[in-house]
């Protein structure tokens, strides 16, 4: 469920289906996954170009990699010969709660780029799909269940009994087990992770 490429395609297809954008297209570069063009309410202004790079979580890239990635995407957007009007670069963090933020240097507290923002799942998904983060994750779960994509662990690994017992206590604490002590409700697990503040 956590494959980054899957969410790139879902986000792009949601943006197309939402009908909110003038245009949505793939970008064949390593800096961004897709771009969307949006009109302003003031139609005399040229449209806004949104260059999006989709990441599962904010720790997908190490701290030292953020400045390079921001600079690369900013340069790509600034020099896009097909762009008309202003632009914004967005790193969409699709599996982590939060809203919008700007990545800053620790020493100076200056933004790495005034045109680049990080949009966490609570802002990203409603903007591009008109669905909340938890609704999107439930939709993905429903598709996976329909396709019956069960992963089977075929490795013979010995798990320490202390770890199993501790895990069992946590599952009971968060009411993930049924009356027989069996975990059989993936929606409950999704609710726990998606709706936890």
What pLDDT score does 154 carry? 44
What pLDDT score does 4 carry? 64
Positions in the chain whose pLDDT score sits under 50: 1-2, 149-155
Q: State the burial class of residue 163 (Cβ atoms within 10 Å of its Cβ: 0-12, 13-18, 19+).
A: exposed
What pLDDT score does 6 carry? 80
Q: Closest Cα partner for 2 from 141, 174, 156, 155?
A: 141
**170-to-75, 136, 197 alpha-carbon distances in Å:** 47, 26, 18
What pLDDT score does 46 carry? 95
């Amino acid at each position: 469920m956590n494959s980054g490429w899957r969410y790139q395609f879902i986000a792009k297809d949601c943006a197309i289906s939402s009908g909110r954008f003038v245009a949505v297209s793939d970008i064949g570069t390593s800096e961004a996954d897709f771009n969307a063009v949006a009109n302003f309410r003031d139609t005399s202004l040229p449209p806004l170009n949104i260059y999006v790079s989709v990441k599962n979580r904010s720790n997908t890239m190490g701290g030292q990699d953020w400045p390079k990635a921001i600079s690369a995407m900013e340069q790509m957007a600034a020099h896009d010969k097909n762009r008309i009007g202003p632009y914004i670069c967005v790193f969409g963090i699709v599996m982590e709660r939060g809203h919008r933020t700007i990545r800053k240097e620790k020493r100076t507290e200056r933004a790495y780029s005034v045109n680049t923002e990080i949009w966490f799942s609570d802002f990203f998904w409603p903007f591009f799909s008109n669905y909340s983060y938890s609704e999107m994750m439930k939709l993905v779960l429903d598709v996976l269940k329909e396709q019956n994509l069960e992963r089977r662990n075929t490795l013979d690994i010995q798990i320490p009994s202390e770890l199993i017992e501790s895990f069992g206590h946590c599952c009971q604490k968060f009411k993930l087990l049924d009356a027989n002590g069996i975990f059989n409700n993936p929606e409950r697990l999704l609710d726990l992770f998606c709706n936890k503040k």
